[in-house]
């Protein structure tokens, strides 16, 4: 991948300025769906809280799968893999993706490359296809498509962490693409102050939120 000029955003953590545009982690599309205000608290206000058990388990599981994968993996370049996958099936883990045009970046848990299609997999704890999880995997699809610039079909998939259970999958079609672009544009608008970060009004989400003790907009029971 060619090197591009980048620097950290002066006020918002995890945002990079790349090619003159704000670039944020694709995992934020998941947080955005849960509560936009959590992004504001952590990354604009700089509030620090401990990682949840799910986050720790997720990181450990990532590391385990990565080690297992590396035992038999052959080092190669992305371009070579793309080329080889026109005639054979390949698998890549923790594939870095970046789109300068949309201002997003991240690592895809697993990509299956076949002569007919690419399957983009995001591992999740549990097996419920939340719209926020779907948004995240669609973000990976968009960045991947923007990088490969070719016509092979893309499938977005969610898999139960630590298992082979793909519990949700869908083609990355024009509608999904347009939907995710408009969501990404919303996050870009939040970053430049054109829109306000909205707090959820769902008290159930606040009850399980790791920022609840530091949040000034926590929803109260009965406010739904």
Q: Pick one of 23, 38, 85, 133: the residue that binds ligand SF4 (CB under 6 A).
A: 38
Beta bridge partners of 111: 92, 120
Q: Is 206 in the site for ligand SF4 (CB under 6 A)?
A: yes
Q: Is 102 in the site for ligand SF4 (CB under 6 A)?
A: no
Q: Pick one of 37, 85, 118, 164: the residue that binds ligand SF4 (CB under 6 A).
A: 37
Q: Where are the alpha helices (DSSP H) in the chain?
A: 28-34, 36-39, 53-72, 78-84, 131-148, 174-191, 203-207
The DSSP call for residue 14 is T
CB of 114 to ligand SF4, least distance (A): 39
Taking CB under 6 A as the binding criterion, the range among 70-78, 80-88, 97-105, 211-219 that sits at the site for ligand SF4 is 211-219
Cα 102 to Cα 14, 43, 131, 172, 173, distances in angstroms: 16, 20, 20, 16, 17
Q: Is 215 in the site for ligand SF4 (CB under 6 A)?
A: yes
Q: Is 212 in the site for ligand SF4 (CB under 6 A)?
A: yes
Question: What residues make contact with ligand SF4 under the rule CB under 6 A?
Answer: 35, 37-38, 41, 199-200, 205-206, 209, 211-212, 215, 217-219
């Amino acid at each position: 991948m060619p090197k591009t000029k980048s620097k950290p955003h002066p006020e918002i953590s995890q945002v990079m300025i790349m090619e003159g545009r704000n670039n944020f982690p694709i995992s934020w599309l998941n947080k955005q769906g849960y509560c936009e205000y959590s992004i504001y608290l952590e990354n604009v206000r700089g509030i620090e809280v401990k990682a949840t058990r799910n986050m720790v388990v997720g990181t450990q599981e990532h590391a385990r799968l990565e080690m297992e994968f590396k035992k038999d993996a052959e080092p190669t370049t992305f371009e070579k893999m793309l080329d080889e996958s026109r005639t054979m099936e390949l698998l890549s883990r923790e594939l870095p993706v970046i789109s300068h045009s949309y201002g997003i970046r991240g690592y895809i848990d697993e990509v299956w490359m076949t002569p007919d299609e690419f399957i983009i997999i995001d591992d999740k704890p549990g097996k419920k296809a939340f719209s926020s999880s779907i948004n995240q995997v669609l973000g990976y699809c968009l960045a991947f498509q923007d990088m490969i610039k070719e016509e092979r079909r893309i499938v977005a998939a969610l898999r139960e962490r630590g298992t082979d259970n793909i519990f949700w999958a869908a083609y990355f079609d024009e509608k999904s693409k347009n939907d995710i672009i408009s969501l990404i544009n919303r996050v870009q608008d939040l970053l430049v102050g054109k829109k306000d970060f909205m707090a959820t009004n769902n008290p159930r989400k606040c009850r399980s939120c790791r920022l609840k003790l530091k949040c000034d907009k926590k929803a109260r029971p009965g406010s739904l």
